[in-house]
Structure 1
Amino acid sequence: MNDMTPLAQLSPPSASGATSARLTRKQKAAIVVRFLLNEGAEVPLTDLPEPLQATLTTQMGTMRYVDRSTLADVVAEFAGELEAMGLTFPRGVAGALTALDGKISPQTAARLRKEAGVRQFGDPWEQICNAGITNLVPIIEKESIEIAAVVLSKLEVAQAAALLGKLPGDKARRITYAVSQTGAVTPDAVDRIGLALAAQLHEVPETAFDSGPEQRVGEILNYSAAATRDDVLVGLDETDQDFAARVRKAIFTFANIPERLNPTDVPKITREVEQAVLVMALASATEGDLAAAAEFLLDNMSKRMGDGIREEMEELGAVKPKDAEEAMTEVVNAIRKLEASGEITLILPESEGEDE
């Protein structure tokens, strides 16, 4: 079968189909796979369970030649089965949970994963590598040196170096040496280790909220009046200074624009906000951090637009405090909207922007 004929040029199946009838389903599967591969088709055999992959490979290794008529019969039978197929289902609970992702409640999905022993979606090592150093350190600290050496070997070089830097010096040295002893570790053992570690990553308490308390309070204060926001922050400072500091980092107001917005994103903001609203917001930002934010926006928009807005600001004159706050809020909301859609990315405060 080194030179197979394309399906469109095959002769019609034989009337009796006697030759293909004597073939087993394994032999027919091998013929179909060989034909598809020979025609350049992408056949995702890795999706099959490992025993079936091994069986298919062994079967193909025992076959030598199939005549044109038999090939036509087998391919026609295969095409008929495909046409008769109405629906397929994902394999196992893991596949079903993936298919139903977002359609069933997180609580139900978590319970099913636990009951069925499904602790991963896809490659567990991919999850481990994407988990972040902060999440891996406590797991590695509890595991044996040998397991830690396998993890270190599977991580990217930069991740492995960062992980070592977070561990006590003595343990880091022992793990590094243990890497030299991993030459005899089998792929099956690595898979089992990956599954066990991925399970630990999933074993976190369920929470009712997707974000932390400081993010939730910050979002509320983002939409609150400035006087309310300042009063709440003063109260938080008196009650819990650490929590108040985290809330301040989660807040994004008009005054935060210069430190959080990329200069190149300013034109996107000016397109999102009506010019009359933008003029009112900038005209009312005359003192302190507000003035710095106004100048930042004016300096990073086109010169022609900036000059035009400056003229309109002079003509507008004094702005009522209520109108000023509404205009600034609309500018901030436009920035938040663009961030949520992925069109812009806000700069994180330095303490949050450090790599893990």
Structure 2
Amino acid sequence: MSTALARQDDDFAAQPFSSPGAPSRSLSRREKAAIVVRLLLAEGVKLPLMSLPAALQAELISQMSRMRFIDRQTLREVAEEFATELDGIGLAFPGGVDGALKALEGAISADVIARMRAQSGAFWGEDPWETISRFDVPKLVEIMQRESPEIGAVILSKLDVSKAAELLGKLPGPEARRLTIAVSDTADVMPDTVRCIGAALAAQLQAEPPRAFTAASVERIGAILDVSPGPTREEVLAGLEEEDREFADRVRAAIFTFVDIPERVDPKDVAIIAKTVEQPSLVAALAGAAGDPKMAVVSDFILSKLPGRLADTIRTEVAEFGPVDATSSEAAQIAVVRAVRRLVDSGEIKLVTASD
């Protein structure tokens, strides 16, 4: 339908103006397109007129403003002609690079798509700000720090309030103050300017080359070392410190082990973790923690945050479990850590960080 309308609209400027009361054959395609649009709108059809070039949208408004009444016979003839033309369309191609990329998504390689986006400035969706709002806060912080306060103020104004507040909180104090001052000047920014800014930023964000691994290298190594035996973990970290001490420090900060549970796990999430871990593994992990003061803190934290009846059951099983050798204890504790990581990766829980 939009293809046929666009085809009629393309002839807007090329046809002379005729009286709307004349037979349909004497009407220009500009007038016929206006009649079809008016008819479809009256029937409650939502037309994709926003996808037309701005000049054609303006021509349509101008034409409709000059027309008054159309007799039933003329309306019927115009509608039949439009239906015939619509029925004759065998295949419609998407308009522009953006439409072509959407049509070919999944059929061509991701790196080619990224390269074409970068070259054309194409982005997904009708509204570029919807595209921008889907990116996480750290990525938006990077953009904000590269752009001027005026552009940053537009970004801040277009995001939903909660995300804008989180974004503002991640910026250094002086930058946050400059942005809030700049927001006061956004009232006079024209809508077309805001859309152009959004289109440029959306294309910039989506033009980044695809990565084989989405997590940062520090996070990947940290997650691997989380579930590695203690001696292996320390040996790897020692080797990293010899090669790159700064990188090793960042990896240490990213590591989450059994002993970190009281500081990094939200108390309300302990019951969720306990349901995910097989109970024999949880019992063995807690039993193995009994002889180490640091591990005993973890055991007390977990048991104190479980529902009373479940906590009593596990305490009884821990007491009856008997001595646990170091290897079995560490394996059980790694099983608990793996369960925590799975829940974090699935979004069911979130680890507490120093900034929370």
Report Cα offsets for 1:195-227 as digits up to 9, x if no partner.
555566567677664333212211221231122
Counterpart residue identity of residue 96, structure 1? A
Deviation at 1:309, TM superposition (A): 0.6
1:1-356 aligned within 5 A: 20=24, 23-68=27-72, 70-71=74-75, 74=78, 88-101=92-105, 104-115=108-119, 117-118=120-121, 120-122=123-125, 123-124=127-128, 131-140=139-148, 148-149=149-150, 151-153=152-154, 155-156=156-157, 165-167=173-175, 172=178, 183=188, 186-196=190-200, 209-286=213-290, 287-347=292-352, 349-350=353-354
The change in CA–CA distance for 1:60 and 1:260 in structure 2 (over 3 A counts) is: farther
Deviations 1:280-318 (A, max 9, x none): 122112224432222222112211000001001111111
The 2-side partners of 1:326 and 1:126 are apart by 45
In structure 2, the gaps of 5 or more residues are 1-21, 158-163
For residue 329 of structure 2, give the secondary structure of its aligned residue in structure 1.
helix
Post-superposition offset of 1:136 = 2.0
User: What is the CA distance between 1:126 and its match in structure 2?
Assistant: 5.7
CA contact (8 A) 1:150 1:179 kept: no
Equivalents in 2 of 1:319, 1:84: separation in Å? 79
TM-score for both structures, normalised by structure 1: 0.72
Q: What amino acid is the match of 1:105?
A: S
* Structure 1 range deviating more: 34-43 or 218-227: 34-43
Shift of 1:98: 4.1
CA distance in 1, matches of 2:50, 2:172: 34
How far did 1:85 drift? 6.1
More displaced 10-residue stretch of structure 1: 232-241 or 277-286: 232-241
| Aligned residue type for 2:69 | Y
Give me the CA root mean square deviation.
3.9
3-state SS, counterpart of residue 346 of structure 1: coil
1:155 counterpart SS class? helix
In the superposition, relative to structure 1, how do residues 296 and 65 fare at CA in structure 2: closer, same or farther (>3 Å)?
Answer: farther
CA distance in 2, matches of 1:327, 1:74: 77
The alignment partner of 1:132 has SS state of helix
Are the counterparts in 2 of residues 153 and 179 from structure 1 also a CA contact under 8 Å? no
- Output the CA distance in 1 between the equivalents of 2:58 and 2:216: 48
Q: Distance in 2 between matches of 1:216 and 1:150?
A: 34
Aligned amino acid, residue 255 of structure 1: V
Q: 1:261 to 1:177 in 2, by over 3 A?
A: closer
Instruction: Output the CA distance in 1 between the equivalents of 2:216 and 2:169.
Output: 29
Q: Hey, what's the Cα distance between the residues in 2 that align with 1:248 and 1:231?
A: 12
1:191: how far off?
Answer: 4.4
Per-residue deviation at 1:332?
1.7
In 2, are the aligned partners of 1:90 and 1:99 still within 8 Å (CA)? yes
Question: For the structure 1 residues 251 and 20, does the alpha-carbon distance in structure 2 shift closer, same or farther, using more than 3 Å as the test?
Answer: farther
Q: Provide the secondary structure at the position in 2 that maps to 1:350.
A: coil
Separation (CA, whole Å) in 2 of partners of 1:128 and 1:77: 42
Count of residues in correspondence between the two structures? 322
Does structure 1 retain, via aligned residues, the 8 Å contact 2:114–2:207? Answer: no
Q: Tell which deviates more after alignment, 126-135 or 271-280.
A: 126-135
Q: Deviations over 1:92-123 (max 9, x none)?
A: 212333454565434212322233x2254454
Whichever residue aligns with residue 237 of structure 2, its letter is L
Task: Give a deviation string over 1:5-53, Cα, whole Å, max 9, x none.
Answer: xxxxxxxxxxxxx955555554444344434443445444333332332
Give distance in 2, aligned partners of 1:237 and 1:85.
67
Quick one: structure 1 residues 218 and 66, their matched pair in 2 at CA, closer, same or farther if it must change by over 3 Å?
Answer: same
Identity %: 44
**Matched letter for residue 220 of structure 1:** I
Matched residue of 1:64: which SS? coil
For 1:281 and 1:58, locate their aligned partners in 2 and report how far apart those are by CA, in whole Å: 76
The question of whether the paired residues in 1 share the 8 Å contact of 2:118 and 2:203 is answered with no
Aligned-pair CA distance for 1:79: 5.9
Taking structure 2 as the reference length, the TM-score comes to: 0.72
